[in-house]
Structure 1
């Protein structure tokens, strides 16, 4: 029987985490999915976990790598083997709550076929400690369909473990291969954030279904991708490269989106001038400004739309807005004058 969703799990060491992850799939209130796992840790430490869940009736397609090839390569292999209408990339160390698939896919994406992706919020889990927030900049969006492509030019808050993508939309924008080829071109083990780049591409094909509530735990530990990137002082470099990818993709992103990504990289990551000021400087510049001034209103509207709902999602700080209201009000007045 054909299932509606392929769940692609990339596994790397820590069989105890994979066991918890599969437990969270076994308890889903909606079960119309296939499970595919590639373990990327030579030595096969997770085979006992696979055997355990197979014995309990879970159908798992499992492959073991003899050499480490990286998560994005594993994802691409599984993606090209599968064909369901919807797909999600689940990290083996994350945990889904029982109603995640029912709420995000059945009550969300299937009711809104115009959406190319959907995501839920999540909580952070470090050891036994739970932080009731995402701990990142994110747009405060209500449950339902929203355009998110401009927000993804500013910040990366969608964790792939809590996102579901429509395969047809992802295929239209190069699927996983687009990132694999960029990795090969750069020649680095990590080059840009694949979840942000993937979601941004799909977000050009329609709105995202937002589930404005946490539906699982994102685990933070010494060997996961976020910690490794930060520990190796590559976080900013990889962020800038992600926005460079967006800027380079002329055939996917429109000009306003591409220059918004460039203004963010320049104003927020490569200097302290801020996104709004960076965009204004670009519009007024002697060279690139000649191209941008005719579309100044479109660029400033995109900047306002991207920044206005952004909060810092830290419960202990009250989830403050990122951009001061006076700055946004001044930007809105400038837009009205154009």
Structure 2
């Protein structure tokens, strides 16, 4: 099939593009605006492939999207384009509203106009896959419960609120107009090519450079961690085999507190790249002021996608983390320009004005 991936130069989007080219026969068109966290170097392994095309553009440009859909005879849209960092949404929510809500609306309208003009057989196999987050569900208590597809939405941050709104828009376009929408909500992703403002890559690179490892609060917040290549496999299944009007939760069954994650990074780095003069990187851990609205725990029940589509995570947290750290050790040419130029390596989201 011909698949349009929006936001395909971002962390998860680039993993999806690489997966589709390497492990399927689908043709991939990547539409990305190339904002600060996008990186075409993440697509270098497939950049010259004859089944891959990159187009720089904005999902909010309805005419551009419609022309691209027609030109490429698109069968599936995988919508990953989004502002995605909670801390940045606290410091500057406007971009999140514009991209995640207004941009998704414009994209849906372009897709609806294209889909409505397709022949019946192509209309029936077409899918609009909206990729979202478990953060739309709010927080869980530390000692019980999992997010299911029936969990009520209770977003806590500007980011999660914007994603919740876009989820509702996508499903409303299914209910109102019949657009064949599938939805997925995932837990925290990690892996190669991760922009170094997120917890795991930030801790890896700060640790390599001997800098402080800033942990919010007491590090008690718990997340379920999902290796990005496992997620890419799941997204392909949802996009090509998911039932219209249905949502699928995707998680790694790897709950860890933030402090436990940082300690595991320290220990793995100490084993793979010992500090000069010895010592443990755990000594670099510094507890900093917690961010506003910091949900205590997220955890996914992934039984629907496992039972209905046959997906299972292949990586444990330990194997995935080791692969991730080794990738950063081997690929300084990818992350060094980011650290030296566009990104300072500090924590955001501590109450600055938006």
Task: Tell me the TM-score normalised to structure 1 length.
Answer: 0.29
Structure with bigger RCO (C-alpha 8 Å, 6+ apart) = 2
Task: Tell me the TM-score normalised to structure 2 length.
Answer: 0.28
